[in-house]
Amino acid sequence: MSQPDYSRLFRLDGRRVIVVGAASGIGRESARAVAAHGATVVAADRDATALAELVSGLPDAEAVELDVLDPGAVRDLAASAGPVDGLVFTPATNVRKALADYTDEEFDRVVNLNLRASFTLIRVFGPLMAARGRGSIVGFSSIRAATVEPGQGVYAATKAGLEGLVRTAASEYGPAGVRVNVIRPGVVETPLTTQLRADADWADAYARKSALGRWARSDEMAGSVVYLLSDASSFVTGSFVTVDGGWTAQDGRFTPPL
């Protein structure tokens, strides 16, 4: 057996990667990181203006305007994108309310984007990758799949559901050489959390919950994306990579005297 070239373990040269949700936040930084490691990036999002700005700064990248809630549009993207080696998807939304206060419309809005759209992406691209005998799918879950708080019920349910889908997809597509994983972020500075961070008390409380004592930056998720797309994770599938600054590693309520 030949010795692996560890200097290229994280390289993505010659690979074509679709990043859904690439116009902002974690998706944007994921696209930048993937491109920096040599991949050809197809950046997809609803925000055509932000996409154009992103791809203008990336080598060999293209922008595709996409409504991920439209299954037909997802199928069209798959048909037009050509052979795809990697898929990253980040879109999500949240309505922070007690369960009893949720409206049917709010429930549908959160479930449709966080879970149904993820299901569509996996079931469209999974078989195509399986037919080629290789590929890596990377979704974004949340620490809320494992630990919750009041007002997070529907969001948490969608993220737990996504992890169930990922485990199943990893089982179904694994024999064909396709890996499927998710990243579990903690609290991250993204457009989704702007309202929370605007409240100083809330922002500070969330920062103090992690062992590192701060919020994550969007770019701090990008390393895990590259890892899961690359040969460095060639035997990793059906897994949840937690990137939460130690939030779920500690109790987090107070520091006891020792």
Catalytic residues: 155
List the beta bridge partners of residue 241.
183
**Separation CA 88–CA 62 (nearest Å):** 15
Contacts of residue 222, Cβ cutoff 8 Å, sequence gap at least 6: 26, 29, 30, 32, 33, 34
For residues 33 and 223, the answer to whether their CB atoms sit within 8 Å is yes
DSSP secondary-structure letter at 158?
Answer: H
Contacts of residue 230, Cβ cutoff 8 Å, sequence gap at least 6: 9, 10, 11, 12, 37
Q: Establish how many alpha carbons lie within 13 A of residue 76's alpha carbon, considering only the half-sphere containing its beta carbon.
A: 11
Instruction: State the Cα torsion 223-225-231-237 to the nearest 10°.
Output: 130
How many residues in the chain?
Answer: 258
Contact 74, 121 (CB under 8 A): yes
